[in-house]
Amino acid sequence: MKTEFRLLEASEKISSEQIRPGLTYWKDAWRRLKKNKLAMIGLVVIGLMTLFAVVGPLFTPYKYSDQKVGFTNLPPRIELMKTGDQYFYFNGDYYFLFTSTKDGRLLEKLDKVSTNQVTKQVTFDLDGESVIVD
Band (pLDDT 50/70/90 cuts) for residue 6 is: confident
For residue 36, what pLDDT is reported?
Answer: 97
DSSP-assigned beta bridge partners for residue 100: 87, 106
For residue 128, what pLDDT is reported?
Answer: 86
DSSP-assigned beta bridge partners for residue 97: 90
pTM score, whole prediction: 0.51
Query: If you average pLDDT over every residue of the chain, what do you get?
Result: 86
Quote the crossing angle between the two packed helices 25-35 and 37-55, to the nearest 10°: 100
